[in-house]
Amino acid sequence: MPHHDTTALSGTIQHVFAHRFTLEADGAVHLADLGPKGAEAFPLAAGLRVTLEGERRPSEIKVARISAAGRAPVEIHHKKPHHPGKPTSSDAAVDPAAALAAVTAAGWMPTGEPRRKPKHVEVLARRGDGAWTELHVDAAGKIYKEKAPDADKWGAALA
């Protein structure tokens, strides 16, 4: 999951679209998202001067805190998206030996050392004389991602 920078802005709300709004600040217009529950807790209105803090994403700012004169500041907690097929933060630690066993049981021939990540193990493997493939294996032993290997990452193992 990419890491996004935190930003703080003060400006005037220009347009409101349900729980999203545009904020004119520092000579630029920014799209910000409170989320539906955030918009219930902090009603938005064009012309309102606000100060916000949030996570800058490529398309918008996910607001974590918003305040305005005469109003109590509101903290907003956004749910993290769950992408099917990918491990979640609640997944148990992955045992590299178990990941290798799962890869072998699925008909792959692994090579080199598996690379342990916080939520999965990466294994370089191939079937027969086929192309090398980077496999991502979760704690349940499920291969949930297959991709072309990165030569910088796997180096000599690809030779």
Could you report the per-residue pLDDT of 17-76, keeping only the tens digit for each? 999 999 999 999 999 999 999 999 999 999 999 999 999 998 999 999 999 999 989 999
Does the pLDDT of residue 92 top 90, yes or no? Answer: no
pTM of the model: 0.50
Q: Which domains does the chain have, with CATH numbers?
A: 6-75 (2.40.50.200), 96-150 (3.10.450)
Q: What per-residue confidence (pLDDT) applies to 157?
A: 76
- 1 or 154: which carries more pLDDT confidence? 154
Does the pLDDT of residue 97 top 70, yes or no? Answer: yes
Q: What per-residue confidence (pLDDT) applies to 94?
A: 80
The pLDDT confidence band at residue 85, using thresholds 50, 70 and 90, is low
Q: What per-residue confidence (pLDDT) applies to 117?
A: 87
- Partners of residue 56 on adjacent β-strands: 61
